Amino acid sequence: MAAFPELRLRRLRRTEPLRALVQENRVDIGDLVYPIFVVEGQGIKQELSSMPGIFRFSPDQLPLEVEEIARLKIPAVLLFGIPQHKDEVGSSAYHPQGVIPKAIRAIKKAVPELLVITDVCLCEYTSHGHCGVVVNGDVDNDQTLPLLAQTALSHAEAGADIVAPSDMMDGRVKAIRESLDTNGFQNIPILSYAAKYASAFYGPFREAAESAPQFGDRLSYQMNPPNVREALREVEEDIKEGADIIMVKPALAYLDVIRRVRDTFNHPLAAYNVSGEYALVKAAMQMGWLDEPRVVMEILTAIKRAGADIIITYHAKDVARWLQSI
Ligand code: PBG
């Protein structure tokens, strides 16, 4: 084995082509998923105050947006819906004419090849803002399952390519798989938010999606941030129930979790670079404190290096422009 002075690690860092040749991880546009907030109504394109550059669109405004996304070669979008009507049981989440089915149809008409992933959860649709049905002050797991299954089915019927449950109820993947299979959607994959933590990094999202819990918090169903072995159990459970792709969320404070999941399972792995992670970068940018492209690429590369195959990120459009110089 060579040692200094024969060994010189700087030899392979000398020029850009050399560095590129030995680069171990790369962010590829083909791995990115861009989240979109869709609000019921018409003619709405409204920027979010805590997420500069991110908008809420009414379904009629989506064709223009997704045509741009397709031009940038981003392969997939993840849809979140904000309904007009909220109630105790989140009925707008599984209404066949709900905001998400409308959005899916508008997108598929404009850009049929763009992959449409839909978030399956009740929190944007319930008056109390929790991710399931509340019984005696607690989110009832088993009563929530059929509603999630119905929500996923309504998305598949409207043309969704992948459904992504984010509620963290036990048994939701199985319930959704059964409902999809018995209705002829055997080929629709489930991307499960398998290890989703009760994180303060979701703050800007909750403003964007109007989904903040009106009482209490999500600690009784989302994971406790200090735990990592429990994340492996969550992932194992979702895989057993039939998840095709698994997710760790958030990404940055959980890079170790991404690595552990990558080393333990062979399923495709997604990581969600969440709203609060985006807001941190944008705020520093507005202060002139950081070089945005370099910081964002470093963050996304770290998520890949930790082991993620797919990255869901609000930076996707910017990254696509930087990588392709457009
Ligand atoms: C809804 C959901 C949340 C996010 C994705 N799906 C919020 C939450 O659980 O409170 C967060 C995404 C983000 O912060 O970008 N269940």
Domain-embedded: residue 15: no
| C-beta of 277 in contact with ligand 1 (< 6 A) | no
Which ligand 1 atom is the nearest neighbour of the CA of 211?
10
Residue 103, in any domain of the structure: yes
Q: Range of 294's domain?
A: 27-325
Rounded CA separation 196/190 (Å): 15
Do residues 114 and 103 make contact, with C-beta atoms less than 8 angstroms apart? no
Ligand 1 mean position, distance from CA 205 (Å)? 6
The verdict on whether 102 is a catalytic residue reads no
Q: Where residue 200 sits, what CATH number does that domain have?
A: 3.20.20.70
11 assigned to some structural domain: no
| Structural domain total, the chain | 1
37 lines ligand 1 (CB under 6 A): no
Work out the end-to-end distance of the chain between its first and last CA atoms, rounded to an integer number of angstroms: 46
- Within a domain: residue 146? yes
Domain annotation covers residue 46 = yes
Show pLDDT as tens, one digit a residue, over the chain (326 residues).
Answer: 899 999 999 999 999 999 999 999 999 999 999 999 999 999 999 999 999 999 999 999 999 999 999 999 999 999 999 999 999 999 999 999 999 999 999 999 999 999 999 999 999 999 999 999 999 999 999 999 999 999 999 999 999 999 999 999 999 999 999 999 999 999 999 999 999 999 999 999 998 888 999 999 999 999 999 999 999 999 999 999 999 999 999 999 999 999 999 999 999 999 999 999 999 999 999 999 999 999 999 999 999 999 999 999 999 999 999 999 98
Best probe residue, ligand 1, of 211, 218, 254, 273 (max atoms within 8 Å of C-beta) = 211
Q: Per the confidence metrics, is the pTM higher than 0.95?
A: yes
Q: Is the CB of 76 under 6 A from ligand 1?
A: no
Classify residue 19: in a domain, yes or no.
no
Does a cis peptide bond (omega within 30 degrees of 0) precede residue 75? Answer: no
Determine the pLDDT at residue 110.
Answer: 98
Q: Does 240 map to a domain?
A: yes
**Token pair of 104 as six digits:** 């899916």
CA of 13 relative to ligand 1 center, distance in Å: 40
The reply to whether 17 falls in a domain is: no
CA-to-CA separations, 179 to 89, 145, 156, 182, 305, in angstroms, rounded: 19, 10, 10, 5, 36
Residues 68/25, Cβ–Cβ less than 8 Å: no
Does the annotation count 249 as an active-site position? yes
What is residue 181's three-state secondary structure? Answer: helix
Tokens of 205: 């999202």
